[in-house]
Amino acid sequence: MDSYQNIMVNGNEAVAWGALCSNIDYFAHYPGSPINMVEPAIKKLVSKFNMNIAINDSLNEHIAALCAAGASYCGARSLVVMKHVGVNIAADPFNYLGYTGVKGGMVIVVGTDPGANSSTGEEDTHWYAPQFNFPLFEPTSVREIFDYVVQSYELSEKYSIPVLIFIPGRLCYNSDSIQIPDHLYGNLSGHSSNPIYYFKKDNKKYINVGKRAIQNHRGLLERLEKLSQNSNYSKKYFNSKAKSGLITRGLTFGNVYESVIRLGIQQKVHLLNLDLVFPVNADIVRDFVKGKNEVTIIEDQDGFLEFHIKAVLFNKTKCLIRGKEFFPKYGEIVFKQVSDYLSNLFNIKPKKYNFSPCENIIPERLGTFCEGCPHRASFYAIERALQGTEGVIGGDIGCSSLPPFRADWLMCMNAGIGISQGMSHILSRQTVISTGGESTFFHGGIISLQNAVLNRINMIHIVFDNRVIGMTGRQASPTTRKNVNYKKLLKSIGVDRLSVVSAFKPSKFAKVLKKEIQQKGVRVIWVNTPCAQTPDLAAKLKRHILLPFIDSTQCRECTLCYDKLCCPAIYRTNEKNDQFNIDTARCMRCGTCRDICPNNAVKTNFAAPLPKLVSGCVKLIFNSLK
């Protein structure tokens, strides 16, 4: 028997281990929570085992999907990772990858988010599986994530079809130990040489039009049908002779399994979990419902499995099939809902507790900007410039959307520039200021801007260039290494006016914006200020040298810094009056409060005697050079 290596991983890391143990050669991704940690895990392992893997830090999911397909056409095993909403962006190529088929195994891992814990919505991406005609796995544990990534490559190559794996947020951040058989673990250290791949031309496969497209579509459906018939990716528990059945997928399995045991109804129910959620294996389902009076399908979101199971069983059973009559289509299915449902079904009185918690409602800690965040200063400047008007601020995805009230909408990637463009096109009395980070700009915003130029739309777009993809873990963006000449870029696509400002000078920023509002054409304001979490050397030196404070003799309690800028480093010294000061442990020395203070009350001292400051600065410079 094969021995194994025991490793401790979370769901994200399990994807990385599974893919690398499967000998992938190509990895493409666009970061997005909850699946944002696969990329660092892959890079760490590649470095640790000195592996030779082509890594594509893609600018959006569409290009990530196409690049991985290209590698796969040449015979390389590829992995593509994105969050659920990213599938919308990549849907175009995914619709046709099944037609062409793949040579090297291609696995698409998607982080889903029932409950919208780290997303702007909880879109049910499952419906894409039958549209793409890709098989879809939904693991129930971290161990299964690893197993199904490995098996998906075999399946993908056997049936020449990309395989989807959906992992809900809760499982992405779940941790467990997994056992990797030595024959798979050995692939890690054996992957240092670069195999020679070859693209074999095949017009019948790769050029899809008219009859060829129909032929390939038919071929895809036949392969999928074969895969469905030949695979049994499911697990059954409890009493197979019971008259009541429960069917689950993904994380609802654990809730149901444990509820059955807690309630002691193992003899009364039979539980089936479908790991391969699409295509549904008709034989497994028909066999399961045989002899049962009723079956309840318990799953998150829309009822994808219920829909497909009912289709498979239509006119073939007298068994009562139910699901969404009892469980909501929104939010995450929580343990209590499952436990309560089964208690009611079997007339079991729930356990009573002699405790009732206090009734206070604890407010949500809605997202906010970090201390020293350039977005905070930028929004302050925009609000100042629009003060007294009915101006509209178009919001986009990313850290700039964190406090959910600074912009007027929060929807999807590039909704800032897109919706603002439509509004600017027709509004005459209201000024529209479109905003978005540099990551969304390169993700698709640049095309929207080109569109505004093409259609001669009078609009202002502000790009918050903080030089990282901040929200998902500070991955590199095109401006991270300063190798993008955005001035030339914007000029070449025909932008009429470009201003470059620093976020930390909001007075100047507001003046520039006011001036631009009076102009015509496509105007861009590029806010060039690094993220507070990845400070440059100048920011680090400032933090070392300066000690800011609010001079109470000059402060007139206007509360601009506290109530309007809302910097968390500024605090009331006394709850009863409006005296303020700066928490220097939190303050990042961005200087925004000093810039906006109308009374010059924000002052700075040196943080230490001069010799100590100098030696500290030398150390900082030396470390940054390293």
Partner 1 sequence: MHNNPFNLIISGLGGQGVFTLTKALWKLCEMNNIKCQSSTFKGGAQKHGSIYSVLRIFIKDNKHYDLYSTQILEQELDLIIGLEAWETLRYKEYFNEKTKILMNHHISPFQIERIDSIKGKDPVQLITDLNLDTLIRDFSAKSKQSFGTTKMVNFLLGLEVFKIGIIPFNTADYIKVFEDQIHAGRKLKSKLMNYK
Binding residues vs partner 1 (CB under 8 A)? 8, 10, 33, 117-118, 140-143, 170-171, 173-177, 237, 251, 253-255, 257-259, 261-262, 264, 334-336, 339, 353-355, 357-358, 360, 362-368, 370-371, 399, 402-403, 470-471, 533, 562-563, 566, 568, 571
Which residue in the block uniquely carries the two structure tokens 């391969």?
276
Tokens linked to 266: 């193992």
Contact indicator for 277, 293 with CB cutoff of 8 Å: no
Instruction: Give min distance, CB of 520 to partner 1, in A.
Output: 36
Instruction: Give min distance, CB of 474 to partner 1, in A.
Output: 9
Within 10 angstroms of residue 234's Cβ, the number of other Cβ atoms is 18
Instruction: Give min distance, CB of 166 to partner 1, in A.
Output: 16
Nearer to partner 1, 161 or 471 (CB): 471
Instruction: Give min distance, CB of 44 to partner 1, in A.
Output: 14
570 closest CA partner among 595, 587, 592: 587
Nearer to partner 1, 262 or 514 (CB): 262
Q: Which residues of 501-518 are buried (b: 16+ CB within 10 A; e: fewer)?
A: bbbbbbeebbebbeebbe
Phi, psi of 6 (to 5 degrees): -95, 120
Strand partners, 6: 179
Instruction: Give min distance, CB of 571 to partner 1, in A.
Output: 8
Instruction: Give min distance, CB of 585 to partner 1, in A.
Output: 9
Q: Is 83 helix (H, G, I), strand (E, B) or coil?
A: strand
CA angle 113, 119, 124 (to 5 degrees): 40
Nearer to partner 1, 221 or 261 (CB): 261
| HSE-up (13 A, CA, CB side) for residue 424 | 27
Which residue in the block uniquely carries the two structure tokens 């201003």?
499
Nearer to partner 1, 177 or 455 (CB): 177
Nearer to partner 1, 68 or 149 (CB): 149
> Rg for the chain (alpha carbons), in Å?
28
- C-alpha dihedral over 303, 306, 312, 314, to 10 degrees? -110
- Residues 259, 345: Cα–Cα separation, whole Å: 12
Which residue in the block uniquely carries the two structure tokens 């045991």?
261
Which residue in the block uniquely carries the two structure tokens 């990797």?
180
23 closest CA partner among 185, 166, 257: 185
- Residues 203, 578: Cα–Cα separation, whole Å: 75
Q: Is 568 helix (H, G, I), strand (E, B) or coil?
A: coil
Instruction: Give min distance, CB of 253 to partner 1, in A.
Output: 8
Instruction: Give min distance, CB of 475 to partner 1, in A.
Output: 13
- Residues 231, 273: Cα–Cα separation, whole Å: 14
Nearer to partner 1, 314 or 353 (CB): 353
Query: What's 400's DSSP letter?
Result: G
Tokens linked to 74: 């040449």
Instruction: Give min distance, CB of 249 to partner 1, in A.
Output: 14
Query: What's 547's DSSP letter?
Result: E
Pairing of strands 54-57, 468-469: unpaired
Nearer to partner 1, 255 or 448 (CB): 255
Nearer to partner 1, 123 or 157 (CB): 123
CA distances from 302 to 118, 122, 298, 307, 327 (A): 19, 10, 11, 9, 10
Instruction: Give min distance, CB of 597 to partner 1, in A.
Output: 18
Instruction: Give min distance, CB of 259 to partner 1, in A.
Output: 8
Instruction: Give min distance, CB of 365 to partner 1, in A.
Output: 5
CA angle 383, 387, 390 (to 5 degrees): 100
Instruction: Give min distance, CB of 625 to partner 1, in A.
Output: 20
Q: Which residues of 402-441 are buried (b: 16+ CB within 10 A; e: fewer)?
A: beeebbbbbbbbbbbbbbbbebbeeeeeebbbbbbbbbbb
Nearer to partner 1, 500 or 607 (CB): 607
Nearer to partner 1, 191 or 543 (CB): 543
Within 10 angstroms of residue 201's Cβ, the number of other Cβ atoms is 7
Instruction: Give min distance, CB of 368 to partner 1, in A.
Output: 4
Phi, psi of 331 (to 5 degrees): 70, 180
- Residues 278, 133: Cα–Cα separation, whole Å: 9
Nearer to partner 1, 6 or 315 (CB): 6
Contact indicator for 15, 36 with CB cutoff of 8 Å: no
Nearer to partner 1, 253 or 504 (CB): 253
Nearer to partner 1, 368 or 507 (CB): 368
Its sign, for the CA torsion 145, 151, 154, 156, is negative
Nearer to partner 1, 364 or 390 (CB): 364
Phi, psi of 182 (to 5 degrees): -55, -35
Instruction: Give min distance, CB of 254 to partner 1, in A.
Output: 4
Nearer to partner 1, 190 or 367 (CB): 367
